[in-house]
Amino acid sequence: MRTSAILLCILVAAACETGGKKQAGPESVTYDDHGDPVGLHRYRKWSDKIGQGAEPMGDEAFQNLAALGYTTVLSVDGAATDVEAAERHGLTYVHVPIGYDGITREESLEIVKAVKEAPGPVYVHCHHGKHRGPAAAMVARICVDGITPEEAVHGLELSETSPKYEGLWRDVRNTKPPSAAALAAAPTPPSRVLPQGVRATMVEVNVRYDFLAESAGEGWKAPKAHPDVSPPHEARMLWELYREMARLDDAKAKGADFLTLTGEGEKYAVSLEEALRAGDTEGARKAYLGVKKNCDACHSLYRN
């Protein structure tokens, strides 16, 4: 049999074994204009075991994660995870929501346990991939990759994690690898934790705010990345969320200052909607800056 015929037989046999499907691999990764894998903003691979970035956006993001060799996606964001999208691409989701004020010992154990027990590389993410995600990734790197706290702090710097989140920096600096017994006793994290109360509402507020921020940067048009988004509608949804949040028991439990900020946020969002519907771009700019200032003030008191 000629060599060419033998090679043909080998190729046919390989196609039969794989069902004729293209196997995932580095060559199948798609990249955006910034050089990030599509749907994975702020992507960074730290080691053979740990990568980080923003929340995977769309099926192509999960496809890229699989093509890059990841087996597990670890979210430390408060939003519910897209378990179904991950599973469509053979990925396992793990969810350990953490706050901007730091990482508790229990959360740290769950993060480390998830990374250690994963059968392959783990992609760690929060919402934007700048603060909570990098902090969780650095905790995992200290305990799994064996880097020093000083190297981990440098990782936060490279990730542009804001110094305002003092608790995240503190807990990364103070991380020490747990004992085998402590890890064994830690619960296995679930694939999805549903947010409740104020936290659930704030997840929605963040989504609306992000859409409006993109629109503001594009002359108050629908964002190119989200052409179906209507800025006036998003502003309306934002002030509705503020109004409903003020009615929650855990919002009232935070005290008068929190409720005052919530009320002010609602007023700015109402003004933003009115300006957008009237085509008043300057009024929209001022109202948007009011919304942003209100968010920053609330985060400084209750999130950071």
Residue 1 lies in a domain: no
Residue with tokens 């740990």: 50
Looking at the fold, whether 155 and 43 belong to one and the same domain comes out as yes
Q: Where are the beta strands (DSSP E) in the chain?
A: 44-45, 50-53, 72-75, 92-95, 122-125
Residue 232 lies in a domain: yes
Looking at the fold, whether 55 and 85 belong to one and the same domain comes out as yes
Per-residue tokens: 44: 């960074």
CB burial readout 171-185, b (16+ within 10 A) else e:
bbeebeebeeeebee
Model pLDDT, residue 304: 59
- The predicted model scores a pTM of 0.70
Confirm if 71 and 170 have CB atoms less than 8 A apart: no
Model pLDDT, residue 27: 55
Per-residue tokens: 262: 């919530």
pLDDT tens-place string over residues 50-64: 999 999 999 999 999
Residues 6+ apart with CB under 8 A from 130: 42, 159, 160, 161, 162
Looking at the fold, whether 125 and 218 belong to one and the same domain comes out as no
Looking at the fold, whether 38 and 168 belong to one and the same domain comes out as yes
Looking at the fold, whether 298 and 238 belong to one and the same domain comes out as yes
How many separate domains does the chain show? 2
* C-alpha to C-alpha distance for 285 and 243, rounded to whole angstroms: 22
CATH number of the domain residue 162 falls in: 3.90.190.10
Looking at the fold, whether 204 and 85 belong to one and the same domain comes out as no
Model pLDDT, residue 8: 42
Confirm if 36 and 42 have CB atoms less than 8 A apart: yes
Looking at the fold, whether 181 and 284 belong to one and the same domain comes out as no
Looking at the fold, whether 167 and 222 belong to one and the same domain comes out as no
Residue 3 lies in a domain: no
Residue 252 lies in a domain: yes
Residue 6 lies in a domain: no
Residues 6+ apart with CB under 8 A from 263: 242, 246
Model pLDDT, residue 100: 84
Per-residue tokens: 5: 């015929």
Provide the β-strand partners of residue 148. none
Residue 158 lies in a domain: yes
Model pLDDT, residue 257: 93
Confirm if 96 and 75 have CB atoms less than 8 A apart: yes
Enumerate residue ranges in the chain where pLDDT < 70. Answer: 1-27, 303-304
Residue 16 lies in a domain: no
Looking at the fold, whether 172 and 42 belong to one and the same domain comes out as yes
Q: What are phi and psi of 15, to 5 degrees?
A: -65, -35
Q: Domain of 104?
A: 24-185
Q: What angle do CA 241, 246, 249 make, to 5 degrees?
A: 120
DSSP 8-class letter at 33? T
Model pLDDT, residue 151: 98
Looking at the fold, whether 60 and 143 belong to one and the same domain comes out as yes
Residue 9 lies in a domain: no
Per-residue tokens: 139: 């905790």
Last residue of one domain, picked from the residues 131, 152, 185: 185
Last residue of one domain, picked from the residues 152, 185, 218: 185
Looking at the fold, whether 61 and 179 belong to one and the same domain comes out as yes
Model pLDDT, residue 198: 87
* C-alpha to C-alpha distance for 86 and 54, rounded to whole angstroms: 15
Confirm if 37 and 64 have CB atoms less than 8 A apart: yes
* C-alpha to C-alpha distance for 279 and 212, rounded to whole angstroms: 15
Confirm if 134 and 155 have CB atoms less than 8 A apart: yes
Surface-to-core class of residue 164, CB atoms within 10 Å of its CB (0-12 exposed, 13-18 middle, 19+ buried): middle
CATH number of the domain residue 253 falls in: 1.20.120.10
Last residue of one domain, picked from the residues 134, 158, 185: 185
Looking at the fold, whether 222 and 167 belong to one and the same domain comes out as no
The phi-psi region of residue 31 (left if phi > 0; otherwise alpha if psi is between -120 and 50; otherwise beta) is beta
